[in-house]
Amino acid sequence: TSTVVRDLFFATPARLKFMKGERAESSATSDVVKRIAIAFPAVRFTLAGSDRSTLELPATDDSAEGSLRRVAQVMGADFPDNSIAIDAMREGVHLTGHVSIPSFTRANALQQYAYVNGRPVRDKLIAGAIRGAYADVLPRDRHAVTVLFLKLDPAIVDVNVHPAKADVRFRDPGLVRGLIVGAIRQALADAGVRAATTGAAG
């Protein structure tokens, strides 16, 4: 099955007067596609812009290895070698993914991807938990590169608190935060201190 979207806002885009320049909007669109692509590694994604830039993400598969290959397509080929696998469970909440080692960082948090039951989210609680987990090993102006997947009973998370469903509300936010902080800190401790193969990510 192939799905092609063209001229989505050909007539009048919503909130036209609030839109930024073409480059900024193109970057935002690319970010949305990347976030969705990480959640669906077995699907091929192609994004072509009017500036002739193209995002090409070949399909992999739904295995752990296939998921990591898709992450590498989005995050860069050097990410897998500079990341640590996460797999932790607490009270029915399952956390998996990959997080960067302390010497592989970025100047912003744009490459922190989070998913709740397969849905890409930008959640303040998750972002805060990541910061907390790295608080003792990263300067305040550096940010870890992360891809985290949370799986939990849909009954204990509200996905309808944001019009774009970008935010979620957990019934027990302390449980989720504690799981993320604890899992990342434990993974970092188990891995020990090692240098990034290519230095800081950017």
pLDDT tens per residue, range 42-101: 999 999 877 666 899 999 999 999 999 999 999 999 999 999 999 999 999 999 999 999
Question: What backbone torsions phi and psi does residue 149 show, to the nearest 5 degrees?
Answer: -120, 120
Do 87 and 178 sit in the same domain of this protein? yes
User: DSSP secondary-structure letter at 96?
Assistant: E
Do 43 and 85 fall within a single domain? no
Whether 161 and 179 share a structural domain: yes
173 and 91, same domain (yes or no):
yes
Domain termination residue (choose one: 28, 48, 75): 75
Alpha-carbon torsion (117, 121, 124, 129), positive or negative: positive
Query: Closest by alpha carbon to 196, among 102, 112, 76, 106?
Result: 102
- Kindly state whether residues 70 and 149 are assigned to the same domain: no
Q: Indicate if 59 and 141 belong to the same structural domain.
A: no
Of 28, 51, 75, the position where a domain reaches its end is: 75
